[in-house]
Amino acid sequence: MKTIGAVAKYLNINTETIRFYQREGLIQQPQKPASGYRQYSPSDINRLQFILNAKSLGFTLKEIKSLLTLSQNCDDIESLSRSKLAVIQHKIQQLKKLESVIQELTRSCQSNTDKTRCPIIESLTNP
């Protein structure tokens, strides 16, 4: 059993992050004992680690709530995962297009012989 400060330190997060997850309903706030300090159990810490791991994979808090409620229903979890993968693949396509545009703008700047004007600024001003 650990206090919120010890849990935060252990997970390398802020205590306010833990409180935020409590407010969002992702974890339950432990009961406050007469001694005054709430104690977080190993299962609380595991749940927090799960949330942090899911966030690092790009899952939103809403999606994490779904993952937590779906528990061990692998078909539903797979469906959610496939949806997330489609979103990620779409973002990758958008980033590749953005990369191409930025590369082209950079090349136009590199080949510019008139240093009193900038092709990048001009393209941003006149799309």
Residue located via tokens 């974890």: 27
Same domain, 2 and 51: yes
125 Cβ contact partners less than 8 Å away, ≥ 6 residues apart:
none
C-alpha distances out from residue 49 to 8, 17, 65, Å: 11, 12, 14
Same domain, 91 and 47: no
pLDDT on residue 71: 67
Is a pLDDT exceeding 80 seen at residue 14?
A: yes
57 Cβ contact partners less than 8 Å away, ≥ 6 residues apart:
84
pLDDT on residue 127: 64
pTM over 0.85: no
Q: Which tens digits make up the pLDDT trace of 35-87? A: 788 899 999 999 999 999 999 998 999 999 988 887 677 888 888 889 999 99
CA distance 4 to 48: 11
Higher pLDDT, 123 or 8: 8
Task: Look at residue 11 and tell me if it is in a domain.
Answer: yes
Task: Look at residue 98 and tell me if it is in a domain.
Answer: yes
Same domain, 51 and 82: no
Task: Look at residue 66 and tell me if it is in a domain.
Answer: no
- 80: containing domain: 72-127
Could you say which of 34, 59, 84 is where a domain stops?
Answer: 59
Could you say which of 12, 32, 59 is where a domain stops?
Answer: 59
CATH of the domain at 21: 1.10.1660.10
